[in-house]
Structure 1
Amino acid sequence: MVGPATDSLLALVFRVFVAFGIGALVGLEREQSESGGTFAGSRTFPLFGLFGALVQAFFPAMLPVALIALTIPLTVAYGGKILVERDIGLTTLTAALLTVLLGALTTHSERGTVLAIVVGGVVTILLSAKRTIHGFVGRIDEDERRASIKFILVVVVVLPLLPDRELDALYGLNPQFVWLMVVFVTGLSFVAYASSRVVGARRGIALTGVLGGFVSSTATTVSMAERATEDPPLYGICTFSTVVAATVMFPRALVEIAVVNPALLPYAVVPLGAMTVTGALAAGVVYWRSTREDEVEADIRNPFRLRPALFFGAVFAVVLLVSESANSWLGASGVYATAFVSGLADVDAITLTLSTLAADGAIPPEVATTGIVIGAIANTLVKVGLAWLLGTRRLGRLVTAGLGIVSVVGVVFVAM
């Protein structure tokens, strides 16, 4: 019969084995990439993981001392690596120390074990993506690099300093929450932007629309309209990218809802999912009817820029205040009117706002869902208007047909 002591021993053995596995994973990557050289490889890194796990399991108070004690021979070995191989890179040394800490996490707690597995996987991917990351950095020009650094510095410095409470001077707004939403939306856009730069010119028109839609569906629409004006025979391909970019707006909204208010997701997934499927089918029909196979590039800028981020923060704050007031004064109809007007400018702001209000219990989830769909419809209609205003007549007609069907589907769900 298995007793508690045996259960505890088995759990400890399992966690130590996890630490060994994490070290082996990182060590194999280091040896395969030949980055470890004579410093550390597939045998040494598992030992680092075991070292951290066993120290944390039996001598937790000694972990800082053990880590310092290990740092001394690692530093000596690193110095020898520099002399022998003329390589001053710190990546392998840093990975070694991190592996010790990940090993310690596995025997710290059950949550620590899960976190160590996740972080270990991320570290391995990061290490193995050296060429991809360097290639991405090489494609970023000096202005973009400077803008990104400024934004990241502002996030790191400003976010912790902002008060995390509702302020009467700001009509009850929580400054830290507002800025956190700015960081979240910008970060979501930057992931897509970074992906587009990594893929580069090899990406096709479908990927152009998808990535462009996640960065900025409006910017992608404008870019496609201008391209169709410059080269009219490309109207079919430009329509396809425009419809795809506009359609991506719906799953992007679902991602935002899932992060801010997961309880609202079951209500929103049906209408936004239906609009996504309809948009994808419409884009497929447009692509099938297109007679050209040209690839088009959307002019998408780095979302890590301070001025647009501040502008979004202001828009989000205003929409949050107006939506809450409109609900108090006019009820659901006031929320819907605010959603439509806000959706003309930005879907993210109204999606985050109504998700937050629903999470706080200020509005029912059904009202929040309907408002988000109305905002998405309004923004979709803006794409149609931009196609007519900046593009050609052919582009306008095709975009109207494709996104018009998507809007009708949204209206049907709103009317239900």
Structure 2
Amino acid sequence: MVDPLTSSLGEVVLHLLLAGGLGVLIGLEREQSESGGTFAGSRTFPLIALYGALVQAFFPAVLPVAFGMLVVPLTVAYVGKIWYEGDIGLTTLVAALVTVVLGAMTMHSDRGATIAIIVGGAVTVLLSMKGPVHEFADRIEESERRASVKFILVVLVVLPTLPDRSLDALYGLNPRFVWLMVVFVTGLGFVAYVLGQALGPERGIALTGIVGGFVSSTATTVSMAEKTTQNATLYHVCAFAVVTASIVMFPRALIEIAVVNPDLLPNVAFPLGAMTVVGVAAAGVLYWRTASDETVKPEELENPLRLQPALLFGAIFAAVLLVSEYANEWFGASGVYATAFFSGLADVDAMTITLSRLAAEGTVSTQVATTGIVIAAIANTFVKAALAWVLGTTELGKLVSIVLGVVVLSGLVFLWL
């Protein structure tokens, strides 16, 4: 805690200035957006932040009381704003209350000050994105909203009730870990989905591939392949989208490894990083070869926050985890590699998380885990090329196969080095 009695005067003043600066930042945004109206603006918000900072510094024991006392005049001012301006929005009022907390955090500790800076910046960005956020909400259909709410409720109810230990009845599986990974993978897809919705239907083909790769690279490949059967001249731009969606799988896998087993990341980053770099270069050549007037409107991807696909992934992940453990026990590394290849044909995420977990537990070696993850990624890349051949035109199949073939070859070369 930044104690004014023991800390230097310079340190106390610095933290007070930080509190005031955060208040100014939020206040300017409220005033420039005209959302605060006569309620609060560039002068009121820094005063509110300083109020929280000074109370925390000199009277920390009464901070809850001081916070409650501030709620009364803020509520009166808010009612007056409704009366005179007819605006019942709660955003500015809530922002003012958050600013009090941020001011107090700057005086709590150095870590509190750092978090206050991060949260203050995030709050300012969120406040300034009123238009895009509301447009995004308007684009979501009612059925999608219900599906998302249902998924979130199930997550909040189920996750805390699951035992966080291996259960003999489930052949040694940890139910909470399995469900937590389901939520994590679904969350990755949802972030990309939100990005795609926020950018709107007019987003470029490059962003279409990136977003599609995080949400569902298979769905993106199928969509682009079908478009070439409708218009064969689009095979260049569709190939670019397929390749982009396919190579996004590699950094996505690296994110999953970083979360589940950070110690494994340096080993896997080398081959998957090489495949990403080569893929980006190949995609760049494709983009350069694509005519400037070639455009294709992507199919809208489904919201990943849906219960049925999440449960399906959970079942696949649990099965892959069990099969991998027994395959390693019975057949050693070759069993793991075979499992990685066949599971990679359907889903890379399950195998990536499985081998990251097994390596963290010491069940498999780092080298076996690294090789298995690369094998799964290569198998899934083959699937994208096969889909391009089967569902798309011959030109699309050839182009995608050549590009992804080079990507796969680079991964194998760097894996063997």
Which TM class, normalised by the smaller chain length?
A: over 0.9
Match of 1:232? 232
Aligned amino acid, residue 43 of structure 1? R
Q: Decide which moves more: 183-192 or 158-167.
A: 158-167
Is 1:264 equivalent to 2:264 in the alignment? Answer: yes
Pick closer, same or farther for the CA change 1:164–1:399 going to 2, 3 Å. same
Match of 1:82? 82
Is 1:244 equivalent to 2:244 in the alignment? Answer: yes
List runs of 5+ in structure 2 lacking aligned partners.
none
Is 1:223 equivalent to 2:223 in the alignment? Answer: yes
Q: How does 1:187-226 map to 2 (within 5 A)?
A: 187-226=187-226
Aligned amino acid, residue 365 of structure 1? T
Deviations 1:71-90 (A, max 9, x none): 01111111111101101000
Pick closer, same or farther for the CA change 1:170–1:17 going to 2, 3 Å. farther
1-structure distance, mates of 2:72, 2:359: 54
1-structure distance, mates of 2:186, 2:411: 26
CA contact (8 A) 1:213 1:248 kept: yes
Match of 2:306? 305
Pick closer, same or farther for the CA change 1:58–1:174 going to 2, 3 Å. farther
Q: How does 1:279-290 map to 2 (within 5 A)?
A: 279-290=279-290
Match of 1:177? 177
Match of 1:388? 389
Pick closer, same or farther for the CA change 1:170–1:9 going to 2, 3 Å. farther
2-structure distance, mates of 1:329, 1:15: 61
Aligned amino acid, residue 157 of structure 2? V
Q: How does 1:56-75 map to 2 (within 5 A)?
A: 56-75=56-75
1:251 is displaced (CA, Å) by 1.0
Match of 2:324? 323
Deviations 1:259-292 (A, max 9, x none): 2222222111111111011111222222333346
Aligned amino acid, residue 16 of structure 2? V
Aligned amino acid, residue 40 of structure 1? A
Pick closer, same or farther for the CA change 1:292–1:113 going to 2, 3 Å. closer
2-structure distance, mates of 1:163, 1:114: 35
Deviations 1:57-114 (A, max 9, x none): 2222211111111101111111111101101000000011111111112222222222
Is 1:336 equivalent to 2:337 in the alignment? Answer: yes
Deviations 1:171-214 (A, max 9, x none): 22222221111111111111111111111132111111111111
Instruction: Give the percent of matched residue pairs that are identical in Structure 1 and Structure 2.
Output: 67
Match of 1:361? 362
1:6 is displaced (CA, Å) by 6.9
Runs of 4+ in 1 over 6 A off after TM superposition: none
CA contact (8 A) 1:25 1:124 kept: yes
1:12 is displaced (CA, Å) by 3.0
2-structure distance, mates of 1:388, 1:43: 63
Match of 2:143? 143
Aligned amino acid, residue 75 of structure 1? T
Pick closer, same or farther for the CA change 1:97–1:274 going to 2, 3 Å. same
1-structure distance, mates of 2:297, 2:245: 12
Pick closer, same or farther for the CA change 1:12–1:363 going to 2, 3 Å. farther
CA contact (8 A) 1:208 1:296 kept: no
2-structure distance, mates of 1:305, 1:12: 49
1-structure distance, mates of 2:156, 2:12: 37
Pick closer, same or farther for the CA change 1:352–1:6 going to 2, 3 Å. same
1-structure distance, mates of 2:265, 2:8: 39
SS at match of 2:108: coil
1-structure distance, mates of 2:67, 2:14: 23
Instruction: Give TM-score scaled by structure 2 length.
Output: 0.95
Is 1:348 equivalent to 2:357 in the alignment? Answer: no
2-structure distance, mates of 1:297, 1:369: 37
List runs of 5+ in structure 1 lacking aligned partners.
none
Q: RMSD of aligned C-alpha atoms?
A: 1.7
Pick closer, same or farther for the CA change 1:281–1:55 going to 2, 3 Å. same
Aligned amino acid, residue 380 of structure 1? T
Deviations 1:18-71 (A, max 9, x none): 222211111111111111111111111111111112222222221111111110
Pick closer, same or farther for the CA change 1:7–1:60 going to 2, 3 Å. closer
Match of 1:91? 91
CA contact (8 A) 1:208 1:297 kept: no
Deviations 1:373-405 (A, max 9, x none): 111000000001111111111111111111111
1:412 is displaced (CA, Å) by 2.1
1-structure distance, mates of 2:85, 2:360: 57
1:344 is displaced (CA, Å) by 0.6
Aligned amino acid, residue 25 of structure 1? L
2-structure distance, mates of 1:220, 1:382: 13
1-structure distance, mates of 2:139, 2:182: 25
Instruction: Give TM-score scaled by structure 1 length.
Output: 0.95
SS at match of 1:201: coil
1:316 is displaced (CA, Å) by 1.1
1:136 is displaced (CA, Å) by 0.7
Aligned amino acid, residue 186 of structure 1? T
Pick closer, same or farther for the CA change 1:172–1:39 going to 2, 3 Å. same
CA contact (8 A) 2:167 2:174 kept: yes
2-structure distance, mates of 1:290, 1:50: 56
Aligned amino acid, residue 170 of structure 1? L
CA contact (8 A) 1:224 1:241 kept: yes
Count of aligned pairs: 413
CA contact (8 A) 1:374 1:414 kept: no
